[in-house]
Amino acid sequence: MALVRAARSSFRRSGGAIGNYASERNIFCEGISPLRHPAPVFEKAVTGFNSSYIPSTQMINQLSFGNRGMKFTPQYQFPHAEAQTVGGSDSKNERSSYPGLEATKQGEKPRVVVLGSGWAACRFLKGIDTTMYDVVCIAPRNHMVFTPLLASTCVGTLEFRSVAEPVTQIQKALAKDPNSYFFLASCTGVDADKHEVYCQTVGDRGVSHEHYRFKVAYDKLVIASGAEPLTFGIKGVEEHAFFLREVQNAQEIRKKLLMNLMVSETPGISEEEKERLLHCVVIGGGPTGVEFSGELSDFIMRDVRERYAHVKNYIHVTLIEANEILSSFDVGLREYATKHLTKVGVRLVHGVVKEVHPDKIVLSDGSDVPYGLLVWSTGVGPSKFIKSLDIPKSPGGRIGIDEWLRVPSVEDVFAIGDCAGFLEQTGKPVLPALAQVAERQGKYLVKLFTDIGKQNGGKALSAKDITLGDPFVYKHLGSMATVGRYKALVDLRQAKGEKGVSLAGFMSWFIWRSAYLTRVISWRNRFYVAMNWGTTLIFGRDNTKIG
């Protein structure tokens, strides 16, 4: 049980101090060859992140802390928002005249504005003392996603609602307190001098409505807006591949998979077309790519064989990776994963994707890989919103923070989770893009805000002489990944190269499941997850295609 406890607090997703964006970008390398022979790293993948990915206007002098203002990017529109409807060229004056929440007055509680509803934001929101602060959460989705179990929803092992929890359930004050709110919107700009954020409501598939713009004044701002998938500028990825980051992505993947299975049974479809439709290709051999491949293989071995018997011999999974799969895991675990995946029918391929077409991928050696379903999982990088912020960045382009998770170039602004990284001057490494980092930063900030509040530093510009206490320290607790067929990997080393416990097999799978069941967001979700696992075991995965 001690192992379960240790694993429980660690989640999986490896890297320790090294598994950050830098390691995630080394995904592609030359040629299509057996995975045993690592090929040179794909140049585009490396430069794509560090230089071309970051516009030159964002090349900020990282040593300059003097830049107080953070007024920026009227042009920038967050992709979730339907920018064409509202345009994006409002001037500073126009933005100032938006309706919204004005600055708090004397005698009112200080207002904390939180951007995002992910791991970091929700951990912060869960703990914040709402007797001390009013809270406003602004995000383009109204729920938190329990990402470690997202891959399981793509094939019906779990239902979508089991991995999502509304943010107003996580912090009830958002729905109840007279001055606390959740706004379904994207933040499009920040004026740190005025202590205001500018936002735009977001659309939803098939549900059209007006897009409103508004502003919210803050006393303290917590930016926790996460990251975006890296595509390295490869042609066709955005248009044709599925990412796996949101529940909506998982819904689309499941729909496409079921569609392809059913369409491939249509009379008159050629053998070649059947092979293509039922070829599921995963790009990126990190934990997400591996777990998704394992889930697919489970789905094929148990459910496709029974329910799509006519086409069961046509369906295949290929995992394309540039270096080696699960590169941040212990060598023994990597070898185990490679053998296991091969045994359960996942074809592991070394390759560099050059471009993506609607029905095939072209690799850099000129070979074509036809596909029916393409899932892209090659790590994450700074979002357009983060890139648009005119403030010093950490190496890799995230918002630069100090040891207390403050954005030191501006007052009253904090950044946590995947969107933030320590500034070079702190001498600390940029932490990996992991839920366990985001969650612990959110938790740390709760305490910091309580301390600030107790010293009457909650209001805007009033925390200058506040004692902040101990800085944030991150200790990596280990990593886990499931590889399908009741097998998983548990790596409890603190960092790559260090000694520590590592396990693979059924026992690890049991630890993996126990850990996640106890970590799932709420009792409601815990109940759903346990029920879903039970029904999948007894009745198989749900293959109803709705919508």
Given the rule CB under 6 A, which residues bind ligand FAD?
11-13, 78, 115-121, 138-141, 147-148, 150-151, 186-187, 224-226, 244-245, 288, 383, 385, 417-419, 433-436, 438
In the complex, least distance from residue 434 CB atom to ligand FAD, rounded to whole angstroms: 3
d(CA 42, CA 31): 10
Nearest CA among 203, 153, 113, 14 for reference residue 412: 113
d(CA 202, CA 199): 9
Residue 318 identity: T
Q: Which is nearer to ligand FAD, 10 or 318 (CB)?
A: 10
In the complex, least distance from residue 185 CB atom to ligand FAD, rounded to whole angstroms: 7
Q: Give the H or E element holding residue 171.
A: none
Q: Which is nearer to ligand FAD, 183 or 336 (CB)?
A: 183
In the complex, least distance from residue 264 CB atom to ligand FAD, rounded to whole angstroms: 27
In the complex, least distance from residue 432 CB atom to ligand FAD, rounded to whole angstroms: 8
Q: Which is nearer to ligand FAD, 364 or 383 (CB)?
A: 383
Q: Which is nearer to ligand FAD, 226 or 457 (CB)?
A: 226
Helix 287-298, helix 331-343: angle, nearest 10: 30
Q: In angstroms, how far apart are the furthest CA atoms of the chain?
A: 76
Q: Which is nearer to ligand FAD, 147 or 536 (CB)?
A: 147
8 A C-beta contact, residue 118 and residue 125: no
Contacts of residue 217, defined as CB under 8 A and 6 or more positions apart, other chains included, come to 100, 101, 102, 103, 104, 111, 194, 195, 196
In the complex, least distance from residue 481 CB atom to ligand FAD, rounded to whole angstroms: 7
Residue count (the chain): 547
Q: Which is nearer to ligand FAD, 244 or 258 (CB)?
A: 244
d(CA 372, CA 311): 14
In the complex, least distance from residue 137 CB atom to ligand FAD, rounded to whole angstroms: 9
Q: Which is nearer to ligand FAD, 260 or 288 (CB)?
A: 288
Q: Which is nearer to ligand FAD, 49 or 119 (CB)?
A: 119
Residue 392 identity: P
Q: Which is nearer to ligand FAD, 79 or 408 (CB)?
A: 79
235 has which bridge partners? 355
- Taking CB positions, which residue lies at the least distance from ligand FAD? 118
Beta strand 360-363 pairing with 487-491: unpaired
Q: Give the H or E element holding residue 186.
A: strand 181-191
In the complex, least distance from residue 129 CB atom to ligand FAD, rounded to whole angstroms: 20
Q: Which is nearer to ligand FAD, 117 or 318 (CB)?
A: 117
8 A C-beta contact, residue 55 and residue 76: no
d(CA 115, CA 186): 8
Alpha carbon separation from 389 to 201, 396, 399 (Å, rounded) = 20, 14, 8
Burial class (CB in 10 A: 0-12, 13-18, 19+), 329: buried
Query: What one-character DSSP code corresponds to residue 50?
Result: I
- CA terminus-to-terminus distance, the chain: 43
Q: Which is nearer to ligand FAD, 387 or 541 (CB)?
A: 387
In the complex, least distance from residue 195 CB atom to ligand FAD, rounded to whole angstroms: 17
8 A C-beta contact, residue 154 and residue 292: yes
In the complex, least distance from residue 44 CB atom to ligand FAD, rounded to whole angstroms: 22
Nearest CA among 386, 421, 419 for reference residue 403: 421
Angle at 495 (CA atoms; ends 489, 496), nearest 5 degrees: 75
In the complex, least distance from residue 415 CB atom to ligand FAD, rounded to whole angstroms: 9
Edge-first strand listing for the sheet containing 220-223: 100-101, 213-217, 196-201, 181-191, 134-139, 111-115, 220-223, 413-415
Q: Which is nearer to ligand FAD, 241 or 434 (CB)?
A: 434
CA 271 to chain centre: 37
In the complex, least distance from residue 305 CB atom to ligand FAD, rounded to whole angstroms: 26
In the complex, least distance from residue 150 CB atom to ligand FAD, rounded to whole angstroms: 4
